[in-house]
Amino acid sequence: MSRQDISNNTLAMISIMATLGIGFAWSAACFATGSIRPVTGIILVTVISDIALAAAAFALLVISAFLPVRRHLAMGMVCGSALLFFGSWHLLMLAMVSHLPGVMHAMGTIAMPLGVLTLAVAIFHIGRAYRLSRLLLGSYRKIEHSLATRDQITQLFNRRYFYSNCPELLKSCQKHNQPCVLIVMTIANLPAINQRYGVTAGDAALSELGRLIIKTTRRIDVAARLGGRRIAIFLPDTPLEDAAHIAKRELQLCEKVTITNNDGERTVITLEVDQSIQQAEANEAFETLVDRGLAL
Ligand SMILES: Nc1nc2c(ncn2[C@@H]2O[C@H](COP(=O)(O)OP(=O)(O)OP(=O)(O)O)[C@@H](O)[C@H]2O)c(=O)[nH]1
């Protein structure tokens, strides 16, 4: 039977029972080898505080044994708290028995500091594992968010994000009398690029264009890939003249796009882009604005 065949609960119960067994065996050994103190020689306060310490260590042992962490991490906690329990149990024995053999005395005395040390190391490892899992969770969330909101080739926002966020943005601008502009870009020669250099090169052209658009737009602008070769940039709080300037700059970027063709050679190509620039009218719905942009 391998270690993995034993369930965590069984292992926890075995650890607890084994520690209790060792504790009772230790008591028997102490009473058998040492001299039992007369009742008048037992200090009640010491006995009570030793019992309290042993009970706390035992509680820690039970919690550690059922700790919902990976087995090797829980085992570190179990060993540490078992040693702590054993050390405190030994103190309780010392309150009732004297003249123990030197070896037993040494074993009992060393158990507690060793337990604290083992616990410290185990807590350190649990902390490290926790931090690592937080980091992993954070990056999974980022990937999840990117998959849900971004187009995977261009890294621009996807259709869903565009249509679910921009209407609110437009409404807010209209409320504050801020002009908004929509630029729609259609890459006319994308099929020709695919044919000449291969689909991978076409993808690379899209990806490079996406990178350039992200680099040259503001954080409040929403640049999204609406279709195979259609890209829209929604510019909130932007006058038409500024938008025309931005659109011209995007066209200039399209003139020299570096791609890698199927043979691994880097080539500079020109993306032929048809553009439509539409200013939102007062109270115009976002969908109507997009329809106007796509119609041209
Ligand atoms: N390499 C590459 N080419 C694409 C991709 N998407 C579209 N194309 C090319 O662009 C052509 C048009 O694709 P559509 O999906 O119809 O494009 P659209 O944006 O909807 O534009 P319309 O032509 O108006 O329908 C395709 O036949 C492909 O040649 C893509 O993701 N990668």
Closest ligand 1 atom number to CA of residue 195:
29
pLDDT above 70 (res 89): yes
The answer on 178 and 123 residing in a single domain is no
Closest ligand 1 atom number to CA of residue 191:
29
Q: Whole-number mean pLDDT of the chain? A: 93
Where residue 296 falls among pLDDT bands split at 50, 70, 90? Answer: low
Instruction: Report residues whose beta carbon is within 6 angstroms of any ligand 1 atom.
Output: 153, 190-191, 194, 199, 202-203, 206, 227-230
Where residue 189 falls among pLDDT bands split at 50, 70, 90? Answer: very high
The answer on 192 and 106 residing in a single domain is no
- The stretch 156-178 carries a mean pLDDT of 96
The answer on 111 and 202 residing in a single domain is no
- The stretch 69-80 carries a mean pLDDT of 92
The answer on 125 and 66 residing in a single domain is yes
The answer on 291 and 227 residing in a single domain is yes
Q: Which residue's alpha carbon is nearest to atom 28 within ligand 1?
A: 191
pTM score over 0.80: no
How far apart are the C-alpha atoms of 292 and 296, rounded to whole Å?
A: 7
How far apart are the C-alpha atoms of 185 and 234, rounded to whole Å?
A: 11
> Is the residue at 14 inside a domain?
yes
Q: Which residue's alpha carbon is nearest to atom 15 within ligand 1?
A: 228
* CA 284 to ligand 1 centroid distance, Å: 29
The answer on 110 and 42 residing in a single domain is yes
> What is the reported pLDDT for 184?
97
> Is the residue at 154 inside a domain?
no
Q: Considering 146, 171, 194, which residue would you say is the last residue of a domain?
A: 146
Angle at the Cα of 265 (from 260 to 267), degrees rounded to 5?
A: 60
> What is the reported pLDDT for 6?
77
ipTM comes to 0.92
The answer on 115 and 213 residing in a single domain is no
The answer on 122 and 57 residing in a single domain is yes
- The stretch 183-207 carries a mean pLDDT of 93
Q: Considering 115, 146, 177, which residue would you say is the last residue of a domain?
A: 146
Chain segment 107-131, per-residue pLDDT in tens: 999 999 999 999 999 999 999 999 9
> Is the residue at 153 inside a domain?
no
Chain segment 196-212, per-residue pLDDT in tens: 888 988 999 999 999 99
Regarding predicted confidence, which is higher, 1 or 60?
60
Q: What domain count does the chain have?
A: 2
Chain segment 218-268, per-residue pLDDT in tens: 999 999 999 999 999 999 999 999 999 999 999 999 999 988 776 778 889
How far apart are the C-alpha atoms of 6 and 67, rounded to whole Å?
A: 16
The answer on 121 and 246 residing in a single domain is no
Q: Considering 91, 116, 146, which residue would you say is the last residue of a domain?
A: 146
pLDDT above 60 (res 2): no
**Sign of torsion over alpha carbons 212, 218, 223, 229:** negative
The answer on 239 and 289 residing in a single domain is yes
Which of 208, 200, 202 shows the shortest CA–CA distance to 190?
202
Where residue 4 falls among pLDDT bands split at 50, 70, 90? Answer: low
* CA 143 to ligand 1 centroid distance, Å: 25
pLDDT above 80 (res 5): no
Q: Phi and psi at residue 73, in whole multiples of 5°?
A: -70, -40
> Is the residue at 172 inside a domain?
yes
pLDDT above 90 (res 92): yes
The answer on 203 and 81 residing in a single domain is no
Do 187 and 296 touch, CB atoms closer than 8 A?
no
> Is the residue at 151 inside a domain?
no
Q: 56: domain range? A: 3-146
* CA 186 to ligand 1 centroid distance, Å: 10
> Is the residue at 212 inside a domain?
yes
The answer on 137 and 166 residing in a single domain is no
Q: Which residue's alpha carbon is nearest to atom 18 within ligand 1?
A: 228
